[in-house]
Structure 1
Amino acid sequence: MNNLFKDMLAEHFEQEIYDFLQDHIMNNYDQYDLTRRANEVNEVLEASLDLAEVLRVYNIKQDGSDVAFNMLVSCDIEIGDYFAGENITESVCQWFELSCSAVLENATLTDFSIDGIEAYNK
């Protein structure tokens, strides 16, 4: 069932997941210590999502047609710094756990929403 959910999410909501993560990262990058995995960037002055991949869907709970679940997403984030008149950028990986909900009817997910987000690895 987990792979079925993962496939449905990738097929129907990939762009929505990407857009949510992009917006969250651009507006909240200072909440995460992204320099921990960086080699060149010392202070993150900007960040944007480069790539997002759903790794797994778990903790699925269904009540009638309403479904709640968690999703683990690996994100490649482009971070940037400015030093001595030069822009410095590099890509770092950050995993996020998304709390999601949807409606499952006729083997199709609808009304998908991301209800919460937390850093999975710190």
Structure 2
Amino acid sequence: MGKSAFEGELDRSCYNKLYKEMQKYIEDNCDSIEFHRKSNFVREVQFASLEEMGIERVTKIQQNDDNLTFNVIVSCDIEIEETVSRNRETDGVNQWFIASCSADFDGELKNFKVNDIGAYN
């Protein structure tokens, strides 16, 4: 199934900013997001890095004049790691997140902002 026109515009004009916000969230919260439950090797996540991100769908689009609020569901491939007795263990895991976003729209998306991010289960 193809992307909607809105998803295409979001992907084109806001992907990089969304990626940076997601990367920061993952790095800052790697110890509280339960990545270790998805890993065969890493038991205590000490570092996590976003490797790849895909926009899966956009939901709850609400418009008030030119201002839009919406949720973006993303699939993220993440590398996690820990060091135990000088041995570095790494693993790749996949996690979906939901980002609550806002933007102005006057034919194109402007002033895109990520307001909140959480795990999507």
TM-score range, shorter chain: over 0.9
Q: Please list the CA deviations of residues 72-99 of structure 1 after superposition, one character each: whole Å capped at 9, or x if unmatched.
A: 0111111001123211111101111110
Structure 1 residues without counterparts, runs of 5 or longer: none
- Structure 1 residue 39 displacement after superposition: 0.8
The structure 1 segments of at least 4 consecutive aligned residues displaced by more than 6 Å after TM superposition are none
Please report the TM-score for the alignment, with normalisation by the length of structure 2. 0.94
C-alpha distance in structure 1 between counterparts of 2:109 and 2:26, whole Å: 26
2:112 matched to 1:112? yes
- Structure 1 residue 3 displacement after superposition: 1.2
Counting only pairs closer than 5 Å after superposition, residues 1-122 of structure 1 correspond to structure 2 as 3-105=4-106, 107-121=107-121
Aligned-pair identity (%): 36
C-alpha distance in structure 2 between counterparts of 1:31 and 1:57, whole Å: 25
C-alpha distance in structure 2 between counterparts of 1:90 and 1:47, whole Å: 10
SS in structure 2 at match of 1:9 = helix
SS in structure 2 at match of 1:14 = helix
Q: Which has the higher helix share?
A: 1
Structure 2 residues without counterparts, runs of 5 or longer: none
Q: Please list the CA deviations of residues 3-45 of structure 1 after superposition, one character each: whole Å capped at 9, or x if unmatched.
A: 1121111111111111111111111111211011101111101
C-alpha distance in structure 2 between counterparts of 1:115 and 1:11, whole Å: 19
Please report the TM-score for the alignment, with normalisation by the length of structure 1. 0.93
C-alpha distance in structure 2 between counterparts of 1:92 and 1:32, whole Å: 12
SS in structure 1 at match of 2:14 = helix
SS in structure 2 at match of 1:29 = coil
SS in structure 1 at match of 2:36 = helix
